[in-house]
Amino acid sequence: MKRWIVTIVLLISLVCGRVQTVQGAYITQQEGRSGEAVGESAKDGDETADFLKLYAQSAVLMDGSSGRILYGKGRDIIRPMASTTKIMTCILALEMGNLEDSVTVSSTAASQPKVHLGVRSGEKYRLGDLLYALMLESYNDAAVMIAENIGGSVEGFAALMNEKAKSLGCENTYFITPNGLDGVKKDKDGTEHIHSTTASDLAAIMRYCVTQSPKKDEFLKITQTQNYSFSDSSGKRSYSCYNHNAFLNMMQGVLSGKTGFTGGAGYSYVGAMENGGRTYIIALLGCGWPPHKTYKWTDARKLYTYGLDHYNIRDVFCEKEIPDIPVTGGLCWEEEGNCQEFTGASLHLSEEEKKLPMLLKEDEQVQVTARIPSILEAPVREGQKIGTIDYSLNGTLVKQFPVYADRGVKQMTFSGVVRHVLEIFIDFGRSYHII
């Protein structure tokens, strides 16, 4: 019996003595994808020159899939947005409201300036009908009725609009009115805000409306409708609405859009187009003043055409070979050689998931970087995230795939070693009928 105890102790010592400790460093591997030339060093949507010669004071062309800005002019300058505001009013109503609600006209709604339905205090209208009046004819009183139904008041609804904008990353947008009429508001600390946005933020809001919102299909249906008729709840007053987004018929693939104008904002426009799997979002602010009402259509065509002519979808997914990673401090047993545990690593992606389509210029290059430790320390769990494969464009991270451990490695502890050695001893004894 003493002989077996001595044997077990020697085995424990042998296992403990064979575990190596190695200091680890990170492996960084880079390679170019999807382009022969080195990627542009300038930021996306570089504004060094307005080579499109736009009328708009601020303009953005955005990739609707990724949110990447492909072209920008004064894109982060804060400006009034006029009735392009109403895309936020509409999407919030779709997401938060009941389209069958009966909305009673308040004195505030009835007093809104043109353009308006001309509703009267006390009348009732279906919320769903008001959304068509809002988006096709841009009626200001319809916007206030919607705001009061969803937010309880214009102020309450504006708070919801600002909350939504923040959630979309629109840090330079501030809503005061649901219809886009110029407005000014002072905080308790005296800070003054105007009803405003930037071309970048406005494009991001439209991108959400047409590609990300759970109500995007309903939004598109409303904004693509050419004409719509409805009545108040009593049936005594009837209305016909006609879509004022003339650009719907100017280029093939136009998905949606909203015009705007106030004396302070000038003409504005926000729109979306889909062509050959490519989705483009545009935003125009300060795009001329009367009588130059058509400047926005000229600029819209230039932006869309630039996107169609210069950007195409390419799959930039790169199948990286990831070597096995040594694990220190792990419980292992080897009869010969060094005792060292390893774990494999993979992305855990199906063949269908091994795709990364991106909208790129011909000469743009994507950088692929593997950020995986060269050494891991036990314990390591099977399926544990141990690194990432990063895809960057012009220095900006555009996609990150997590890398997972393919097998687990237990940590070496005294109790674990004893248990492991006993298992070996028992297996050995059973094999030779000793126990």
Q: Does domain 58-310 have CATH number 1.20.1600.10?
A: no
Taking the model in full, what pTM does it have? 0.80
pLDDT at position 11 over 50: no
> Are 228 and 139 a contacting pair, CB within 8 Å?
no
For residue range 346-399, list pLDDT tens digits in order. Answer: 788 878 788 889 999 989 999 999 898 888 888 888 888 989 999 999 888 988
Looking at residue 383, its pLDDT comes to 85
Higher per-residue confidence, 57 vs 45: 57
Would you state the pLDDT for residue 23? Answer: 31
Question: Span 397-416, mean pLDDT?
Answer: 79
pLDDT of residue 427: 64
Whole-number pLDDT of residue 435:
59
Q: Class of 20-37+317-411 per CATH? A: mainly beta
- Say what percent of the chain tops pLDDT 90: 62
pLDDT at 22: 31
User: What tens digit of pLDDT does each residue of 189-223 get?
Assistant: 888 999 999 999 999 999 999 999 999 999 999 99
Q: Domain extents for the chain? A: 20-37+317-411, 58-310
Residue type at position 108: T
Beta bridge partners of 228: 241
Residue 258 annotated as binding site:
yes
According to DSSP, residue 279 is labeled: E
Instruction: Just list the catalytic residues.
Output: 83, 86, 138
Where does the pLDDT of residue 166 fall: very low under 50, low under 70, confident under 90, or very high at 90 and above?
A: very high
Amino acid identity of residue 14, one-letter, is: L
User: Which burial class, exposed, middle or buried, applies to 214 when counting CB atoms under 10 A from its CB (0-12, 13-18, 19+)?
Assistant: exposed
Q: Is the pLDDT of residue 5 over 80?
A: no
Evaluate if residue 68 carries a pLDDT over 80: yes
Please report, to the nearest 10 degrees, the dihedral formed by the alpha carbons of residues 157, 161, 162, 168 taken in order. 160
CA dist., res. 67 & res. 272, Å (int): 12
Q: What is the mean pLDDT of the chain?
A: 85
Residues 164-188 have a mean pLDDT of 94
Amino acid at 12: I
State the pLDDT confidence band at 86, using cuts at 50, 70 and 90: very high
Average pLDDT over residues 91-102: 98
Bridge partner list, 102 = 126
Fold agreement between 20-37+317-411 and 58-310: no
Supply the pLDDT for residue 395: 87
Closest by Cα among 107, 83, 45 to 311: 45
